[in-house]
Amino acid sequence: MNKQLCYCNKCKGSVCSKRTFRRHMLKELNEQNDLSIRRKKNVTNQIKNDHFDIYSNLTPEPTFTSYNDDVTPTSHNRKVRSIPLIPILQETGILDNTDNNFIIPANINEARIDNMTINEKSYSDDEIVSEYEIDEHYTINTNISTNIHHNPLILNTNETTRWAMLWVYLFQDTFVLPQTASATLLDFLKDLLESFNNTTFSDFPSTIYRADRLLGVEHEYRNYIVCPHCHHLHLPDILNGNVQPIKCNKCNEIITKMVRTSKGNHLIKPIKVYPYYSIIQQLELLLSKPEMENLLESCFKREIDDDIFADVYEGRVWKTFTDTNGQPFFVKNVLEIHIGFALNLDWFSPCKHIQYSVGVIYLTILNLPRHIRFREENTFVIGIIPGPHEPDVNEIHQYIEPLVDELLQLWAGQVIKSPNYPIGRIYRAALIMIVCDTPAARKIGGFSSHSSKRGCYRCDHSFSTIQDSNTGYWKPDFSNFNANLPQRSKEKHQSIAYKFKNSSSTIRNQIFTEHGIRWTPLIKLPYIDIQRFIVIDPMHNLYLGTAKRIMKKWTSGEQPLISVHDLKKIQSIIDATPPPSDIGRIPHKIASQFAGFSADQWKSWCLIYSTLTLRDILPEEHRQYWQSFVDCLLLWGQTIITREEIEYGDFAIKDFLAKIMVLFIAFGAFLSKDLMASMPNSGRNFATEVMNIINRQSLLHHTMSIGKSIFSDKVIKSFMKLQSFQHENKGTMAKYNFTIQEALYFKRLPFQISQMNIRDYESIPGKLLSPTCELTMEKPLVDCLVGYYKRVYADLEYQFYSGSQQQDRHAIFVSPSIIRASALQIADEHFGSQLCRSDLASNVMVAFLDDENNFQYWPANIRYFFKHSIVLPYVGITEHVLAMVDWYGKHIKIDHFNVSRRGSSRILDGVTQNGMRHVELWKPPIIKRVSSENIIPVQRIVCRFIKSDYCLQNTRTNLVAVIPLNRRFSV
């Protein structure tokens, strides 16, 4: 059909041809532009004469003007406009109480209002510029978008249509289905519903396109036109009314193409587009959720010890970041909400078997609790950089320009309405974290490559070069790297970046060679400190970098330390040592020299299998430095870490470097380079398709949020059931109503048994998992439970009895009734038992005191979990969560897998895993008659472990290698 609904002032929703529709839209756009010009000319007189409500009467203006890379830190002309007092602005000190002056940029939108035309300027090849011009003086934007009040058309349909459509969208989002699957399902539902009532469901959408229109997908983002040659961005309005090919304003290359429709018509289409989704617009959608404001402010209520680091809030940047007045920025403010953003840029291939790469720029809100911070609905996808290849370092900055423009506005302030503040509230935001892999971080940060002489983005040092003996090429020599090198300063970096931007290409090359700095639009942010804000990338530096290089060194050469036969032996041990299902993928490519390992596989290899399998293969001198490297990974890989553990990890990595450089002098340069950055402190437009999917997900959650009041309980229940498959609130103990102090107390609980007696009724951030059943214990087991309670409450001198054997009228009755469960969930971890289908998660390390009151760990295998209640004097009914276990037997060579360290390195013995070894040797579980010692409180469980069958050389005794796993706590 060549028909389309038109909502102009003339048609008012009637059907017309697409050609007429485009003509009407163009006419209405020109009329709006003329009206905007007249309003801008008369706005000063109107404000002086009429004291109107600024929140409802100001006409929203376009957010983006045009961007110009040639902006310098000099001041721009500004107009001072007088407006009446606004209470919310006056109380925050934005308005001066004396003259009520409010600063508004003079030319903020002049370029776009002038009939939406673009200034065609000619630039020399020495300039890296874009056609857009930014006024760097931003003030609080009181123009409130109406998008938050926009109800999608889907909410105006009948309940069955709403239910079916939203369920299909949520089903696709949950199980990551292709578009064709959802379209087929919609087509089937249309036929099914029409069979019941053809009249009611005649308008039910049978295609994704029609469903997207009801949801409002196509109106939420802007498609910038990209030059395929120089990546120059153009506003989409240049297509209006053009029937001839359009050329780039910068390089004069053609940026559009003529396409023929299925009806035989010809249209002008851009060759490449850059879909950009406004931050402010996404923030408005997010704030439409009633609970979101409280979640954004939850980080300001956080109280934690200074020596504990559990999230970004404990870092120096969050604590020391200040506003323009030098006051702490991330603090609770009644009139404003301050938000911290983390920026990520990465590339991926949208299709298999195609050499095509698109980039994704997205922001995460650091204010949100960790368990919901990285959900799709809470992540802002800003732009999709078109492929098929990554733009180079001098082109990528053009894609960052629109983002910087909005960040500048959010730094000044943006008024946004929310359910709790219907008249609007000021939101300010700052970009304080850049989380990318090393090449992407160097690109958007304006630094030279990590393999250059200026390879360290934090040090103001130029390294010397050496000649590679294998290739003959010259490369930087990082062997003389040390922690005392001079650091780059924020002021010097910004000065050099602006100098680079305003220089010719020849001077730019000289500046870049000398300083390793180039221009990036992020420099425009007045608060930016790129050296501090770029976050370390441990995945690439430690696992895909250092670990990979070491294994390559061990397995290569004429006489490798690890032969092909050794690799096959390692593979057989790993295959016989399966981990719990939530640990991750097992490496299956050891025998092929670790080919194609992912970061998760390298992590599993380093932390779980390497110490076990290399024991009888590597010489002791090589196992020594590898053990120090694993120490560092275990310490720095925790979700909650103390300052002391950070220092131990730093000592471990330095010990590793010192030892490996003695053995592999030539290899030290490569290792130092990687570890240096790891120290703390086809004709299809894939970009638009990806943005459509992301935009659909955002609008889906927005629609479901604002439509809760009209959904029936049955509909809401079906949505909740489907969403339960999507996410399980993983990542934190906060979902169990634990405060940070309670969570940290629980984490330390097993290690404090020498100072306190664990009664096993202490709260746990978890629950027994279904299925559970109520059972009556047999008398021998009840007697064991009585003995357990006597031991636990010995210091209180309580007496216990079971059955009819009461000895004292104050004795406490122990009921034989229990609730038994096969599994227990504590925070992010699943603890299984022998009752589960797989017992891989049933092995745990338990903390206890020996007869001499010394703290020890002992491995155990859990038979089952159970909950039991007793009535304590002055307390009442008390629930105890317990586990029935079988104990492993202690072996005399428990330290068989660990290397004896010498000198100062001995300080690392016992600092990881809270004193446990990387791998320990034990005897298999001893099955004997159950006693009270087989009952343990779950609060004494230190961690899970992986077991592997093992035999000492020249013996036939079956033993067990115990590999403790790090606990996963988040607060």
What is the CA 4 to chain-centroid distance, rounded?
41
Q: Nearest-CA neighbor of 204 among 177, 176, 150, 166?
A: 166
Specify the DSSP class assigned to residue 536: P
Q: What is the mean pLDDT of each run of 10 residues along the chain (971 residues)?
A: 63 69 61 45 36 30 35 35 30 34 33 31 32 48 56 78 85 79 87 88 85 73 89 88 84 88 82 90 86 90 82 89 92 90 87 78 91 85 88 88 94 89 90 88 85 80 75 71 77 90 90 89 93 83 86 86 90 88 74 78 89 90 89 84 86 85 51 34 51 65 65 73 58 55 73 66 80 91 91 85 72 92 86 89 87 82 94 87 93 86 68 74 86 90 91 86 80 58
Domain identity same for 329 and 475: no
> What DSSP letter does each residue of 310-357 carry, written as one string?
-SGGGSHHHHH-B-TTSSBSSS--SSEEEEEEEEEEEEE-SSTT----
Domain identity same for 825 and 862: yes
Q: Nearest-CA neighbor of 750 among 935, 882, 968, 914?
A: 914
The two beta strands, 256-260 and 266-270, are antiparallel
> What DSSP letter does each residue of 414-443 carry, written as one string?
EEE--SS-TT-EEEEEEEEEE---HHHHHH
Total count of domains within the chain: 5
953 φ/ψ angles, rounded to the nearest 5 degrees = -60, 140
Q: Is the CB of residue 111 less than 8 Å from the CB of residue 232?
A: no
Domain identity same for 760 and 900: yes
Residue 324 tokens read as: 């323009």
What is the CA 528 to chain-centroid distance, rounded?
21
Q: Nearest-CA neighbor of 779 among 825, 747, 816?
A: 816
Return d(Cα 931, Cα 788) in angstroms, integer.
9
**How many degrees, rounded to 5, is the angle at CA 308 between CA 307 and CA 314?**
100
Residues 6+ apart with CB under 8 A from 30: 115
> What DSSP letter does each residue of 393-419 carry, written as one string?
TTTTHHHHHHHHHHHHHHHH-EEE--S
Domain identity same for 482 and 529: no
Return d(Cα 622, Cα 296) in angstroms, integer.
49
Residue 121 tokens read as: 């300027």
Q: Is residue 140 part of a domain?
A: no
In this predicted structure, what is the pLDDT of residue 483? 65
Q: Which residue carries 């630039």 as its tokens?
A: 123
Q: Is residue 40 part of a domain?
A: no
Specify the DSSP class assigned to residue 753: T
In this predicted structure, what is the pLDDT of residue 109? 35
Q: Nearest-CA neighbor of 765 among 832, 827, 692, 843?
A: 827
Query: Is 908 in a helix, a strand, or coil?
Result: helix
3-state helix/strand/coil string of 468-493: CCCCCCEEECCCCCCCCCCECCHHHH
Residues 6+ apart with CB under 8 A from 50: none
What's the longest Cα–Cα distance across the chain? 102
Return d(Cα 647, Cα 651) in angstroms, integer.
6
Return d(Cα 826, Cα 582) in angstroms, integer.
13
Burial class of residue 958, CB neighbours in 10 A (0-12, 13-18, 19+): exposed
Return d(Cα 866, Cα 864) in angstroms, integer.
7
Residue 55 tokens read as: 């929140």
Q: Nearest-CA neighbor of 240 among 263, 266, 265, 268?
A: 268
Return d(Cα 703, Cα 714) in angstroms, integer.
17
> What DSSP letter does each residue of 44-83 carry, written as one string?
HHHHHH----HHHHSPP--S---B-TT--SS---EEEEE-
Q: Nearest-CA neighbor of 452 among 496, 393, 396, 497?
A: 393
Residue 640 tokens read as: 């909650």
Residue 523 tokens read as: 């420099």
CA distances from 282 to 378, 686, 721, 734 (A): 9, 21, 26, 26
Return d(Cα 776, Cα 868) in angstroms, integer.
11
In this predicted structure, what is the pLDDT of residue 143? 64
Domain that holds residue 501: 449-519
Helix (H) or strand (E) holding 370, with range, is helix 370-373
Q: Is the CB of residue 841 less than 8 Å from the CB of residue 830?
A: yes
Return d(Cα 959, Cα 919) in angstroms, integer.
13
3-state helix/strand/coil string of 696-738: HHHHHHHHHHHCHHHCCHHHHHHHHHHHHHHCCCCCCCHHHCC
In this predicted structure, what is the pLDDT of residue 593? 73
Q: Is residue 15 part of a domain?
A: yes
Return d(Cα 182, Cα 187) in angstroms, integer.
9
Domain identity same for 514 and 563: no
**How many degrees, rounded to 5, is the angle at CA 333 between CA 332 and CA 338?**
75
Does residue 87 have a cis peptide bond before it, meaning omega lies within 30 degrees of 0?
no
**Torsion over CA of 184, 186, 191 and 192, rounded to 10 degrees?**
110
The residues with which 344 forms a beta bridge, in sequence order, are 362
Domain identity same for 494 and 432: no
Domain identity same for 924 and 859: yes
Q: Nearest-CA neighbor of 888 among 922, 928, 933?
A: 922
Determine the residue type at 482: N
Among left, alpha and beta (phi > 0; psi -120 to 50; other), residue 359 is: beta
Please give the share of the chain, as a percent, with pLDDT higher than 70: 73
Domain identity same for 488 and 531: no
Domain identity same for 891 and 941: yes
Specify the DSSP class assigned to residue 121: -
- The Cβ-side half-sphere exposure at 835, using a 13 Å CA radius, reads 19
Q: Is the CB of residue 790 less than 8 Å from the CB of residue 800?
A: yes
Q: Is residue 574 part of a domain?
A: yes
Domain identity same for 781 and 875: yes
Return d(Cα 780, Cα 606) in angstroms, integer.
45
Q: Is residue 713 part of a domain?
A: no
Q: Is residue 529 part of a domain?
A: yes
Q: Is the CB of residue 184 less than 8 Å from the CB of residue 732?
A: no
Q: Is the CB of residue 801 less than 8 Å from the CB of residue 870?
A: no
When computed from its CA atoms, the radius of gyration of the chain, rounded to whole angstroms, is 33
Q: Is residue 481 part of a domain?
A: yes
Residue 455 tokens read as: 């390879």
361 φ/ψ angles, rounded to the nearest 5 degrees = -105, 120
In this predicted structure, what is the pLDDT of residue 902? 67
| Length of the chain as a residue count | 971
Does residue 60 have a cis peptide bond before it, meaning omega lies within 30 degrees of 0?
no
Determine the residue type at 624: Q
Residue 328 tokens read as: 């702490």
In this predicted structure, what is the pLDDT of residue 140? 72
> What DSSP letter does each residue of 249-277 carry, written as one string?
TTT--B-EEEEE-TTS-EEEEESEEEEE-
815 φ/ψ angles, rounded to the nearest 5 degrees = -75, 145
Residues 6+ apart with CB under 8 A from 224: 233, 234, 235, 236, 273, 274, 275, 276, 402
Domain identity same for 369 and 490: no
Domain identity same for 510 and 527: no
In this predicted structure, what is the pLDDT of residue 327? 92
Q: Is the CB of residue 950 less than 8 Å from the CB of residue 961?
A: yes
Q: Is residue 205 part of a domain?
A: no
Q: Which residue carries 């304080």 as its tokens?
A: 432
Query: Is 287 in a helix, a strand, or coil?
Result: helix
